[in-house]
Structure 1
Amino acid sequence: MIGRLALVTAASTLAAGAAMAQSSGNWTGFYGGVQLGYIDVDTSVSGVDGDGAIGGIILGYDYDLGDWVVGGGFDYDWTNIDLGPATVEDVWRIKARAGYKVNPQGLLYGVGGYADAGTDNLGSDDGWFIGAGYEQIVAPNVSIAGELLYHEFNNFNSSSVDVDATTLQIRAAYRF
């Protein structure tokens, strides 16, 4: 009984400490969540482009350096963009980001990294992306963000077709 009480007390203390750290603007720690938004895909082939919904999961870690925050993350998104000869089905990213705290709970950041896009019948290809976003802690351990990314996939899967995509997404994360 005492062991269980000690365990519950320790867990409660850790949870309260994490909540206090997030509410005071400490960005250090892991996060996970979801994102949903819009994607616009263009190709170097005349008339082959498309747009629609995109959404998925986010995972990452941030480190608070005072006024600055640095971190890394992983995103995986599902989509269904018809480009005629192929359908874009998913996009995943490995991210690095750095940002400035405009207030203790608000972070303006730049982001970039590696991306991979998959299709239904033309395989997948890797590329790069760059972008920016704003994230706000809205409750203890909960943040909401808006993020705009530009992606480029040159010579998609050795097809001589260049593909670029722009995404605009709203993100919600639980910060551990």
Structure 2
Amino acid sequence: MKPTVMLITALSCAASPVLAGGPVVIPADPVVMAPSPPPALDWTGPYAGAQLGWGWASIVESGDPDIDGDGYVGGLHLGYNRDFGSIVAGIEVDYNLANIEFDNGDADATINTLAHLKLRAGFDTGSTLLYLAGGVARAEADGGASGTGPFYGLGIEHRFSPRLSGGAEYLVHSFDDFYSGGINLEVQTLQARLSFHF
């Protein structure tokens, strides 16, 4: 009978905290960690890419109606951005071949190249950059005509990955005395852009 007495005594000791209202330990649920957010994209650094789009232009002559033209504009760009947190600023140069043709009824004229020295500043929303642009542009046309003038515009750029971004840009240009005789040239361009970041 001694083993039976020992078994009953052991069971009584084990059950006594529960019967006496003692603490009952309940296994805790496993802790589930929330996934950490992906690191914010940093726009700081050099980039290079290509752009392609369409241009609209008007030749403004004193006392005469405007002469309009349009055609493709496309080329390459190279730039550098600096990310200050919510603000991104940078500088860029580009060079475009163009085929913006005018027809005034007597003779045809064509803008062949369009280049920019550009400053950009915009708001960083994370993977998307909304920016303003401005600077100095140079255009050249057949017959030796050329001009330098200011431009301004706006754009949007989206980072598909840390290395690749794409977007669109709209610019407005003004060239005074582009052709002899006080003829001014106004050009608007809308281009899609693709950039690789280093």
Please give the TM-score of this superposition, normalised by the length of structure 1.
Answer: 0.83
2:71, 2:101 within 8 Å by CA — same for their partners in 1?
no
Determine the structure 2 residue equivalent to 1:75: 94
Q: Which structure exhibits the higher relative contact order, with contacts defined as CA atoms closer than 8 Å and separated by 6 or more residues?
A: 1
SS at 2:85's partner residue? coil
Determine the structure 1 residue equivalent to 2:119: 96
Determine the structure 1 residue equivalent to 2:157: 135
SS at 1:155's partner residue? strand
SS at 1:115's partner residue? strand
Structure 2 residue runs without a partner (length 5+): 1-38
Deviations 1:38-77 (A, max 9, x none): 1001111425221111100011000000000000000111
After TM superposition, the structure 1 = structure 2 runs for residues 121-160 of structure 1, keeping only pairs within 5 Å, are 121-160=143-182
Determine the structure 2 residue equivalent to 1:66: 85
Q: What is the CA–CA distance in structure 1 between the aligned matches of 2:135 and 2:129, rounded to whole Å?
A: 19
Determine the structure 1 residue equivalent to 2:51: 35
Indicate which of 72, 90, 93 corresponds to 1:53. 72
RMSD value, Cα: 1.4
Q: What is the CA–CA distance in structure 2 between the aligned matches of 1:119 and 1:159, rounded to whole Å?
A: 16
Q: What is the CA–CA distance in structure 2 between the aligned matches of 1:30 and 1:50, rounded to whole Å?
A: 35
Q: Which runs of at least 4 in structure 1 moved beyond 4 Å after TM superposition?
A: none
Report the identity percentage.
Answer: 38
Q: Which residue identity lines up with residue 57 of structure 1 in the other structure?
A: L
Check if 1:105 corresponds to 2:124: no
Deviations 1:113-142 (A, max 9, x none): 000000110421101100000100012210
Q: What is the CA–CA distance in structure 1 between the aligned matches of 2:129 and 2:70, rounded to whole Å?
A: 29
SS at 1:107's partner residue? strand
Q: What is the CA–CA distance in structure 2 between the aligned matches of 1:114 and 1:159, rounded to whole Å?
A: 23
Aligned length: 153
Q: Which residue identity lines up with residue 67 of structure 1 in the other structure?
A: S
Indicate which of 180, 183, 187 corresponds to 1:161. 183
Q: What is the CA–CA distance in structure 2 between the aligned matches of 1:140 and 1:98, rounded to whole Å?
A: 20
Q: What is the CA–CA distance in structure 2 between the aligned matches of 1:95 and 1:54, rounded to whole Å?
A: 17
Q: What is the CA–CA distance in structure 1 between the aligned matches of 2:181 and 2:47, rounded to whole Å?
A: 37
1:57, 1:75 within 8 Å by CA — same for their partners in 2?
yes
Q: What is the CA–CA distance in structure 2 between the aligned matches of 1:143 and 1:71, rounded to whole Å?
A: 15
